[in-house]
Amino acid sequence: MPPVSDSPGARRVEKEAVIVVAALADEFFRLAHHDTTGKPLLHPRATSLGLAAALIGELVCEQKIMVRDGRVYPWRRTPPADALAHATLDQIIAQPQHTLVGTWLEFLSQTAYTDVATRLWRAGHVRPVTSRKLLRSATVTYIPTDLLTAAGPLIGLTKILRSGGSVTWAEGFLLCLAVATDLAAQLVRDLPKEAADHLDRLRAAAPGEISDLAAVTASAVGNAVLSYRT
């Protein structure tokens, strides 16, 4: 991958791009589902909003878009390698009249779940199983094909929280997103109290674009509760 910029932030991304950049939404999907059964750990609305935020996060991490003061701006128009990220970026570029992160979260969350699950399925990470229960509509569960990959993000993040170590942009982003979607309570439940404190410190020091994305996500998740209707 050619150097994208000479700012220090960009170099960091370049170094880690191969490992994490395209996978933020995949990683959040894994975090939000049980690693063997594929059962969701969060309610559908929070999962969808978290995945939408992660899709935006992928583009921010690849420096295709910029998040400032709760708004999204296209930055570099060279298409990302991943097809879903490419499609998302095209949407953002084509509709410059919509800049609020909240609007994009709302929009992307409508399809994010199926989109990300499909991406995982195409890469062979999950297999969809349709189940029917009495009086309920059919539900699709995406069962992980490999336990180690599926448990990867959870193991990695709990290790950081236990050790009190530092995080990369991507790891920090996932942690902040987990807090914003109320997933973090499950993450730190079995950990010592120091882990929760470390999580608070990490969040307080988060870069502006991550705090913004996490704040808008948390607000949308909370709003979904307040204006819930059937």
Partner 1 sequence: MAPPSVSAPPTFSPVSDTLAADRLGVPQVIFFVMSAATPLTVTAGVVTTAYATTGLLGLPSAFVAVGLLLALFSVGYVAMSRRVGNCGAFYSYLSRGLGRPAGVAGAWVALLSYNCLQIGLYGAVGAAASPLLDQWFGVTPPWWAIAGVAWALTATLGLLRVDVNGGLLAVLLLAEVAVIVVFSVTDLFHPAGGTIAFSPLSPANLSGSGVGALLVLAVLGFVGFESAVVFSEESRNPRRTVPLATYLSVALIASLYTLASWAMTVAVGPERIVETSREEGTEVIFNLADAHLGATAATIGHTLFVTSLIAAMIAFHNTTSRYMYALGREGVLPRRWGRTSASTGSPHIASMTQSALGLTVIVLYAMAGWDPLVTLFYRGGTGGGLGVLLLIAATSIAVVAFFLRHPSDETLWRCRIAPVLAMAALLVVVVLALNNVDVLLGVAPDHLLVWAVPAAFGVVAALGLGWGLVLRATQPAVYARIGLGAKAALGEEGALGRVGEDGCDPPVIPAARHGLGDGARGSGEELWR
Residues 79-118 that bind partner 1 (CB under 8 A): 91, 95-104, 106-107, 110
The neighbour count for residue 101, using CB atoms within 10 Å, is: 24
Measure the CA–CA gap between 111 and 131, rounded to whole angstroms: 21
Please give the helix or strand (H or E) that residue 18 lies within, else none: helix 8-20
Query: Quick one: which segment of 77-85, 128-136, 150-158, 165-173 binds partner 1 (CB under 8 A)?
Result: 165-173
The neighbour count for residue 9, using CB atoms within 10 Å, is: 11
Q: Does 222 participate in binding partner 1 (rule CB under 8 A)?
A: yes
Q: Return the residue of 69, 146, 194, 197 that touches partner 1, per CB under 8 A.
A: 69
Binding residues among 19-58 for partner 1 as defined by CB under 8 A: 40-46
Closest CA to 123 of 82, 174, 79: 82
Length in residues, the chain: 230
Q: Does 186 participate in binding partner 1 (rule CB under 8 A)?
A: yes
Q: What token pair was written down for 226?
A: 């307040």
128 versus 222: smaller Cβ distance to partner 1: 222
Binding residues among 189-208 for partner 1 as defined by CB under 8 A: 201-202, 204-208
Binding residues among 140-159 for partner 1 as defined by CB under 8 A: none
